[in-house]
Structure 1
Amino acid sequence: MATSNNAASGKKPARSGGARYARATWVAGILLMGIALYTIVGHFIAYTGDAFVQSDLVAVAPEVSGVVQSVDVQDNQRVTPGTLLATINPAPYQLAVDLKLKQLAGIEAAQGTSNRGRTAATEATLAQVRAELAIAQYSLARTRLTAPVSGYVNNLTVRPGAYASAAKPLIGIIDDSRWRIVANFKEDVAASVPAGTRVWVWLDADPWRLLPGRVQGVARGIARDQAPEALLPYVAPTTGWIRLRRRLPVTIVLDPGVRTSGLFMGADARVLFFR
């Protein structure tokens, strides 16, 4: 009985080991087939989920300083060129214009309207006052902030009563005529894609639609270190085995006439094309 039990127990591990070996072989075979399939497909199809929607953020800054008298738009409102965005209190600038007008009138009245009553010094004074008047009128006109492009007001925080400083951005507008997709592809893919290549874009904000587009160009440089406000774009490297692989930005524009509601600056996208 003991001998038969030992023999039986000795056979079970052998059968179990063979089954494990067969399963390991199957798993290894499937993995190798998956890697081979991925490699082969990668030679014909390029895909990345590291893409996003981009446009231009136009920072509207006043040319003059003063207290904001009124805000004439709402957050997320669509505007066109010339739309009044906000008004800075014009009273101080109107006073400056009125003062220069009075100075100009006083000089002309004192010297008379005929050229014979004007000396060279008077002409120089008149020219200076006229120039100062033109500057005052220009500053008065710049108390009205208007939209320079068509687009959407974004993240509006300014309110009446706030103080606006010259050259400091006050209102941001997303330009709706500069939409594009920036797709970060691995170096070998980006380096081999020519401008004009047909691509297909999937927008996460407008899913289940493949939008046609074309490659506008490939960035010729990226930053190796992340730095704020750098002229070179920074693309975070991805891990491939041990070495961190770099990616290059590929700019894509959608075909003219393509309509979609999924264009939001910074929104995620996915891009594929046939190599």
Structure 2
Amino acid sequence: MRHILGILVSLAAFAGLIWLGFAAAARMQASPRTNDAYLQADLVHMAPDVSGRIVELDVQDNQLVRRGQVLFSIDQEPYRLRVTQAAANVRALQATIGVTANQVASQTSKAGVASTGISSAQAQLALATSTLHRLEPLLGRGFVTAQQVDQARTAQRTAQVSLDQARQQAVEAHQGISSVKPDEEALVASQAALALAERDLRLTTVRAPCDGRITTLDIAAGEFATVGVPLFTIIDTEQWYAVGNFRETDLPAIRPGAPALVYVLMAPDQPIHGTVDSLGWGVEPDEGATFGGLPDVPRSLNWVRIAQRFPVRIRLTSPPAALLRLGASASIVVSRRVAGP
């Protein structure tokens, strides 16, 4: 009886283990989970937009800063001088445009007078021609003398010469009319240069683009800042994420928008709520690299294949600030249910 009872107990224990295995598998299938996770936040590498000597450094390493807070200031003197220079160029061009406009008005008036002279010369030529045409038929009849006809011809030629001179003067007057267009275009360029100089002056005061924590700060006032070269980094604390590496067999059960629970290692009994933000679509394979245009396929084959893991990004909802550390270890449990209607 003892032997039979021992067999029954062993069978019951074995069946219980099988049941627990199936239950665990079903639970894993219903709620994919991973212990290979960590907290993540966006990073802002603070690089200045203008170069210069740092005259004020208003933050310390690991300090909490708010959006718009002054981080450091660059020497403003050369940028103030550039603004003064650009403003003077704008004023000079504006004055030049005023003088040129007056010259254009005077030249236009002269051209108008020249055009009036053409009309007068044309009238004189018409009168002289008409007089000549009247006198020529009377010469044969003896009503006018040859001298009178010669005088009429001379008057016509003189009127023609006056008309040609008036036309030439009108052409020269119109050609002499200048334009303010080049000066106006130069003014637009100088105004743009002034706007850029004023912008550079504003950018000598560098402000925080977001709420966050200062990190990797190892400079002091007096350091020379160069455009585009980061001086330190801000951890953007306005939005936190958890990134977990899930097996590829779990990915079909994970949908963007699905609710998730995140457990940070420093407080494993305090769940942080979140939603699935996105699923990773690629990782670097261990094999299959390309050499010389051909794939590298190893000769040996491992019969035991471990499922690849892909990162899944979880957006945290109102996480407690005390638990948030960039890179902190975490666990993630994802529900199959998608949040929302």
How would you bin the TM-score normalised by the shorter chain? 0.7 to 0.9
CA, structure 1 residues 126+196, in 2 after alignment: closer, same or farther (shift >3 Å)? Answer: closer
Determine if contact 2:97/2:184 at 8 Å carries over to the other structure: no
Cα distance between partner residues in 2 of 1:124 and 1:58:
40
Q: Which amino acid aligns with 1:44?
A: R
Shift of 1:164: 1.3
More strand by share: 1
For residue 120 of structure 1, the aligned residue among 181, 184, 189 is 181
Report the residue type matching 1:155 in the other structure.
T
Give RMSD over aligned pairs. 3.1
Q: Provide the C-alpha distance between the structure 2 equivalents of 1:176 and 1:161, rounded to a whole number of angstroms.
A: 29
Question: Equivalent residue for 1:159?
Answer: 220
Seen in structure 2, the aligned counterparts of structure 1 residues 164 and 44 have a Cα distance that, compared at 3 Å, is same
Correspondence for 2:70 among 84, 94, 100: 84
Question: Are 1:132 and 2:193 matched, yes or no?
Answer: yes
Counterpart of 1:140 in 2: which secondary structure? helix
Counterpart code for 1:245: A
User: Rg bigger for which structure?
Assistant: 2
* 2:307 maps to amino acid: R
Letter in 1 for 2:313: T
TM superposition score normalised by structure 2:
0.60
CA distance in 2, matches of 1:82, 1:113: 46
Rounded Cα–Cα distance in structure 1 between residues aligned with 2:254 and 2:246: 10
Kindly report which structure 2 residues correspond to 1:29-40, keeping only aligned pairs within 5 A, or say none: 37-38=20-21, 40=23
More helix, by proportion: 2
Question: One-letter code of the match for 1:100?
Answer: A
Q: TM-score, normalised by structure 1?
A: 0.73
Structure 1 stretches of 4+ moved >6 Å? 29-33
2:307 maps to which of 245, 265, 272? 245
Change (3 A) 1:129 1:207: same
CA apart distance, 1:129:
1.9
Find the counterpart in structure 2 of residue 221 from structure 1: 282
1:57 aligned partner: 43
Residue type of the alignment partner of 1:60 = M
DSSP 3-state at the match of 1:251? strand
Looking at structure 2, the residues matched to 77 and 116 of structure 1 have their Cα atoms a distance apart, in angstroms, of 62
> What SS class does the counterpart of residue 197 from structure 2 fall into?
helix
Contact 1:44 1:274 in 2 (8 A): no
Contact 1:206–1:261, Cα closer than 8 Å, also in 2: no
Structure 1 residue 173: deviation in Å? 1.2
C-alpha change, 1:202 and 1:31, in structure 2 (3 Å) is: farther
Give the direction of change, closer, same or farther, for the CA distance of 1:38–1:131 in structure 2 (3 Å limit): same
1:266–1:31 distance in 2 versus 1, CA, 3 Å: farther
Residue 245 of structure 1, CA deviation: 2.7
Partner of 1:66: 52
How far did residue 34 of structure 1 move? 5.7
Per the TM alignment, residue 137 of structure 1 is displaced from its structure 2 partner at its CA by: 1.2
